[in-house]
Amino acid sequence: MRLCVRVNGTSVVRDVPPRLTLADFLREDLRLTGTHLGCEHGVCGACTVLLDGASVRSCIMFAVQADGCDVMTVEALAPPEGPLHPLQDAFRSRHALQCGFCTPGFLVTAYEFLLERHGVTEEEVRETISGNLCRCTGYQGIVEAILLADEKWDR
Ligand code: FES
Ligand code: FES
């Protein structure tokens, strides 16, 4: 099927199998491997991307369902040569990652959450990330990083 989609601001037109997932399209066709695959069941959140500004699990969506949409992946947060996005910087300074496998999903989730909010509470942060799983950090550093990014990110 013909797929026309904008990914991180660039228009892409490809013929894809109808059952190709959005995650596999991003990772394998476009080589945007920042979108990670953990559970592939819509549970862990590692594959989170924004579709027209709203977070979705790209492992349980077909690529063709994104036809005509804007997709944003974690790669769009900062250029390869830097500087880091304030959210990424906050994750670094608060030790909010260890293996880093879950990190793209947390960053995209937090980006959507903070984009139009200021002065968020710890409870709101915890609620927001409750759909993302991390096996390493115990979450405290992630919560602190998102609260710090809320202060530092000039949006
Ligand atoms: Fe998509 Fe886990 S890989 S939710
Ligand atoms: Fe390892 Fe989150 S840092 S899973």
5: left (phi over 0), alpha (psi -120 to 50) or beta: beta
Question: Does the CB atom of residue 131 touch ligand 1 within 6 A?
Answer: no
Q: CA dihedral in degrees (106, 64, 6, 16; nearest 10)?
A: 110
pTM to 2 decimal places: 0.97
Ligand 1 contact via 133 beta carbon (within 6 Å) = no
Query: Ligand 2: which of 106, 137, 139 to mutate, judged by most atoms within 8 Å of the beta carbon?
Result: 137
Q: What is the pLDDT of residues 66-89, one digit of tens each?
A: 999 999 999 999 998 989 999 999
What is the Cα 57 distance to its own chain's centre? 9
pLDDT at 54: 98
134 pLDDT band, cuts 50/70/90, is very high
Whole-number pLDDT of residue 137: 96
* Closest ligand to residue 131's CA: 1
Per residue in 16-55, pLDDT (tens digit) is 999 999 999 999 999 999 999 999 999 999 999 999 999 9
138 lines ligand 2 (CB under 6 A): no
Confidence band (pLDDT; 50, 70, 90) for 126?
very high
Q: With a 6 A CB cut-off, is 1 part of the ligand 2 pocket?
A: no
CB 47 within 8 A of CB 38: yes
Per-residue pLDDT, 3: 98
Q: pLDDT at position 13, please?
A: 98
CB of 100 within 6 A of ligand 2: the answer is yes
